[in-house]
Amino acid sequence: MELTVWQTFVTVCRLGSLSAAAAEPHHTQSAVSRQIAGLERELGVPLMERHARGVRPTPAGEAFRHHALVTLHEADRAVRAARDVHDGAFSRPLSVGATPSLAAGIVPEAIRGLLEEDDDLRWNLLPDLSAPLHQRVTTGELDVAVVTDAPPGLPHDPRVEQHFLGLDDMVVVLPLGHPLAGDDPVHIRALADQTWAEDNDGSAALLRRHAARAGVAVRVDLPAADLHGKLALVATGHAIALIPRILTRALRADVTTVSLVDPPTRGIHALTPRRDPHPRAAALLDRLAAVLVAGATPSSPSSTTSTGPAATPPTSS
C-alpha cells in the first residue's frame, strides 16, 4: 500500500469532505475518490460512509485511521531521522507539546534548564489543548505533552505513561483599576455579578463548579477564541476571567490578578509514550517539576481544598 493513499484517507477523515481533501493536497475530487475506493478494495471493507454534510469513517475506517496515523508519523520520523544525522551521529529532536498556559510559562523555563546541560539538544514546542496533545503522544508525534486534568479530565490510556507534576491554583484576572484589584483574596460571591470571559470548556467548568459550591452562579457571557483573546477582553474592561496562577508571570502589563478564597485547582501532568521514550524526556520531567515548585505561591489554609478531583494526585497509569 502506498503511504500517499493512507495520507489522503487520513486527510478525508480530518476534513470530513472529499472536496476539501482534494483541495489540500492539490488533487481532484475524482482522484481522491479513486484512492479511497482502491484502498477499500485492497482492504476488503468499506472505510467511508456519506452523511448530510459530507463523509465520515465507518467503524472499520476509524480503526484503520488510528493505525494509519501512527504509521504516517513513524514514516515522517524515519525520514527526519535520516536527514538529521550529522557527522555520523544521530541526534533525535525532543518534541514537546503543552497547553497554552503551560507553553507560556513552565515549559520554556524547563527547556532552558535542559539546554544549560546540553546545548546541542534540538527541540520543538507545539501548543494545543490537552486532548489533541494526548492524541499526538499516542501517535508518536510528541515525546512529551504537558497537560492538565481540568474537566473533562485525562483518559486512562495503556499506551501512555502519566506523570503527576503538581497542582496549580486558579486566580481571577481583572483589568487595571477594577474596584476589587488589590483585595486579596476575594470570595467568588463578590464576583458573581460580573461578566466573565472564557476560552475553553475546562476552565469554564472549573469556574461554574467553584461558584456552585459557594451557592452562586456566574455568567460566562463572552467566549474567547484563545487565551490571548480572553486576556484582551479583560484588559479592555469587557470582562474578568479565570486563569492558572502559573500563568501570572507571563501576563500582559494592562491586567492584574486576585486570588480566590478556597480556589479551584487543576493538576499538571506530563504524558510520555510507553514505547520508545526520548532519552531526555526524564530529565525534562524533573525540570518541569522543579520549575512548577519554584513558581508556586503558597496557598493560605483556606485555599487548600479543590473544587473537584483535579486536586487528587493520581498514580501513574
- pLDDT tens for each residue of the chain, 317 residues long: 578 899 899 999 988 888 888 887 677 888 889 999 999 999 999 999 988 888 999 999 998 998 888 788 778 777 776 776 665 555 678 999 999 889 988 999 999 999 998 777 889 999 988 999 998 999 888 999 999 998 888 998 999 999 999 999 999 999 999 999 988 899 999 999 999 999 988 889 999 999 999 999 999 999 998 888 999 999 999 999 999 998 888 888 999 999 999 999 999 999 999 988 998 999 999 999 999 888 654 343 333 333 333 333 333 32
Q: Do domains 3-83 and 89-166+267-304 have the same CATH topology?
A: no
Q: What is the pLDDT of residues 215-228, one digit of tens each?
A: 999 999 999 988 88
132 cis-preceded (ω within 30 degrees of 0): no
Contacts of 274 (CB under 8 A, 6+ apart): 158, 159, 160, 161
Q: Which three cell numbers stand for residue 176?
A: 487595571
As given in the structure block, the three cell numbers for residue 135 are 492524541
Radius of gyration of the chain (CA): 23
| Cα–Cα separations (whole angstroms), residue 268 to 26, 242, 259, 273, 285 | 41, 16, 19, 17, 11
Where does 168-265 sit in CATH, by number?
3.40.190.290
The reported pLDDT for the residue numbered 90 is 54
Helix (H) or strand (E) holding 239: none
C-alpha dist (Å) from residue 105 to 21, 114, 173, 198, 291: 36, 15, 16, 19, 9
pLDDT in tens, 254-283: 999 999 999 999 999 999 999 889 989 999
Over residues 29-46, the pLDDT tens digits come to 888 899 999 999 999 999
Residues 6+ apart with CB under 8 A from 136: 97, 126, 128, 142, 145
Taking the C-alpha atoms of residue 180 and residue 48, their distance in angstroms, rounded to an integer, is 55
Domain coordinates of the chain in residue numbers?
A: 3-83, 89-166+267-304, 168-265
3-83: CATH number: 1.10.10.10
CATH number of 89-166+267-304: 3.40.190.10
**pTM score, two decimals?**
0.66
